[in-house]
Amino acid sequence: MSRLSESVTSVMHILDGADLGADYTVSQLLDETTARRSLDLSDLSPQEQAALVEGRAINLIPSAAVLAEKIEAARSEGRQFVIKYGIDPTSPDVHLGHAVPIIIASRLQRMGHHVVFIIGDVTAKIGDPSGRSSERPALTDEDIARNLSTYQQQVTPFIDFERADLRFNGEWLNKVSLPQLVEILARVPVSMSLQREDFRTRLAEGQGLSIAEFVYSVVMAMDSVAITADVELGGVDQLLNLQMCRKVMEISEQTPEVVITTPLIEGTDGTGSKMSKSKGNYVGLTATPDDVYGRLMSIPDHLTEPYLQLLTEWTDDEIRVVTKRLEEGTAHPMAVKRILAGEVVAALHGPHVAAAARAEFTARFSKRSFGDTQNLPVVSMKEHSEDTLGALISRTLDFAPSISAVRRVAQQKGLRLIREADGEQQTTQLTEASVQQALGAVVSEVGALDGADLYLKVGRKVARIDA
């Protein structure tokens, strides 16, 4: 029996009839599944490794069988099996959407393979055109340096950099000569780039399409050639870029890499849009444990199963047990969501921090009183009385990505002032018009506090207002 099978057997025993809402059960599960994130998977056969990867992939090109054969061949040759994952530093934050393929890379690393994490400091200047309806604004060297300053730290919970390489593609792309690039471009059919629906749409609508964007995938493919990649991982929106990598490796007389694409995780708002910072429906890897936990508790129920599949180390068999219990009514959706939230916080910060976040969330949202809740952000009336409520929430508290988002919360009746005294609460529903009012004016409408505590609630987030 493999080490993974032993772990699954332990978890299945816990899941068999246990109260999934009980702290003891959750603690047991977290201890087992968090340990799984560092579990040595090298005892799996090449075929078992390929099957485990395929189970979380949208595309595996050419096939799982070829992946297994390449793993076996590398073993026979006594060489490293190279896994490539690249990201362009177009934003300072990495979020859970980016983590989906990185988690697969982590599993491959624990299978004994060598991960090369590539930061696209050169390709970021072009901008990945995937899915874009217009050309991405050019980034300066200063923008790129600022964005990538914490990238390694953000993904360290998933990748062990003592056993992996962190590379910048400027190492080789800054040395590529024009004749080298032309030689490759001359053998790449234009039809490969024109397979892209986003390009065809932009051309049909008369939108701009630069030559740089057109050759982005070719330049990106040179990364695979530089490190002689065996496998490359990316979201399914990267499929055509990754297929170009295979083509350019073939042109360069290398064995084309195996391409693995993963699903695009749906944003926390559950509207069907992918997780994106611009939409405000994301969970950043740098967010506080309480914020990560709270954001995941706010997702619609239908996202719980795909999030368990893509963001945890749970296997399909384990997820099926939980799904069946939900259908039978022997497990509550909120209990399973608490398990999910704990899993992600534990991955980023450890199981003890996850337990603290669970307790904090329970104190904050499952009890009527906020008085005993720890770590609430505090807003001083003395400092912020003249600030508009929208600016305070979006900029000072960072409870929303924009003032427009605050307005939407108000429209959905999620913006409230709560006056609390002796365990009793008086709630004032705030309107969209309140978003443009100064904090002092909004608070004055509640009346004299007379020793009561005042809280501002924005959706599921809470801040205390001090005099």
Give the chain's end-to-end CA distance (angstroms, integer). Answer: 62
Q: Is the dihedral of CA 264, 196, 242, 129 positive or negative?
A: negative
Phi then psi for 378, rounded to 5 degrees? -120, 135
Per the listing, tokens 């709270």 go with 294
Query: Which residue type occupies 93?
Result: D
Per DSSP bridges, beta strands 453-458 and 461-466 are: antiparallel
State the burial class of residue 78 (Cβ atoms within 10 Å of its Cβ: 0-12, 13-18, 19+). exposed
- Indicate the length of the chain as a whole number: 467
**Where in the sequence of the chain do the CATH 3.40.50.620 domains occur?**
57-262
Q: Which CATH number describes the domain made up of 289-366? A: 1.10.240.10
* CA–CA separation, 244 and 70 (whole Å): 20
**Which residues make beta-bridge pairs with 115?**
83
Q: Is the pLDDT of residue 450 over 80?
A: no
CATH of the structural domain 57-262, one choice from 3.30.110.30, 3.40.50.620, 1.10.4190.10, 2.40.30.10: 3.40.50.620
Element containing residue 36 per DSSP (H, E): helix 23-36
Q: Per-residue pLDDT tens for 78-127?
A: 999 999 999 888 777 789 999 999 999 999 999 999 999 999 888 888 87
* CA–CA separation, 67 and 55 (whole Å): 13
Q: Taking residues 123-152, report their average pLDDT.
A: 71
Q: What is the pLDDT of residue 39?
A: 95
For 61, 220, 372, the CA distances from 50, given in Å and listed in that order, are 12, 25, 49
Closest alpha carbon to 225 in 200, 205, 248: 248
**Where in the sequence of the chain do the CATH 1.10.240.10 domains occur?**
289-366
Cβ–Cβ under 8 Å, residues 97 and 277: no
| pTM across the whole model | 0.77
Q: What is the pLDDT of residue 133?
A: 46
Q: Per-residue pLDDT tens for 7-60?
A: 999 999 999 888 898 888 999 999 999 999 999 999 999 999 999 999 999 999
Q: Per-residue pLDDT tens for 363-372?
A: 766 555 676 6
For 60, 239, 290, 342, 371, the CA distances from 359, given in Å and listed in that order, are 41, 41, 10, 11, 14
Phi then psi for 427, rounded to 5 degrees? -105, 130
**Where in the sequence of the chain do the CATH 3.10.290 domains occur?**
378-466
Q: Determine the angle formed by the axes of helices 239-251 and 216-227, rounding to 10 degrees.
A: 60
What percent of the chain lies above the pLDDT cut of 90? 54
Q: Which CATH number describes the domain made up of 378-466? A: 3.10.290
